[in-house]
Structure 1
Amino acid sequence: MKATIWHNPNCGTSRKTLAILQETPGVEVELIEYLKTPYTRAKVAQLIADAGLTPREALRLMGTDAQERGLPDMDGDAILDAMAANPAYVNRPFVETEKGVRFCRPQDMVRDIL
């Protein structure tokens, strides 16, 4: 099974999620460091929707200026535009497999799609 993780190596939860993927037999991991290879707007919108979240629920506030910019008060389209322009606004990590997409916070959520 292939599992794609949108990863930030500076994030403990992302590292723990990656470790679960790497330790699971039969899982081929595709790692995308999304701060180096940003999401397209379409991809981030798809991941968020497939994970059952709204853009607001996937918005990262900690460590960003999203709050100061008023992003939490904007509509979903404006939030997605901001996420596509600055991938740091996307909370992490997201993992996609043939079984679906999960926002893996906590990291054990990834087991649902393995």
Structure 2
Amino acid sequence: MLIHLTRLRPGHPPLAEIRTPYGPAVAAWRGDPAAPPGPHHVEWTIDEARATARPAPRPAPAVRTEGGLLLLTGEFDGAGVLRTGDTPILLDLPAPPGWIELAVPCAHAELHPYRT
């Protein structure tokens, strides 16, 4: 997913404030702690042991932060892939196929930057 890094909050790991095509969020940054603000390609890693899934409030991709939780809305294939827009996120969660909202504490959702 192409995100825009707004700023990094100090910590271990630092928390990244980002904007995505589907909304703003906060997640653990697993890249260079001196990364400059701006566009970055990232992959998401979710700690499934701390995540919960429920039916999505509406069938549209969304990313947001609420009360210390990262909320990802996407279409789950039932076999391990959540698609938030054009971004696949691999999960090992018991959830039926369809639109779901995944909730996970911000510090347990990680952003791994990469270069193309």
Give the TM-score of the pair, scaled to structure 2. Answer: 0.32
Query: Which structure is richer in relative contact order (CA contacts within 8 A, separation 6 or more)?
Result: 1
TM-score using structure 1 length: 0.32
Higher helix share: 1
Which structure shows the higher strand fraction? 2
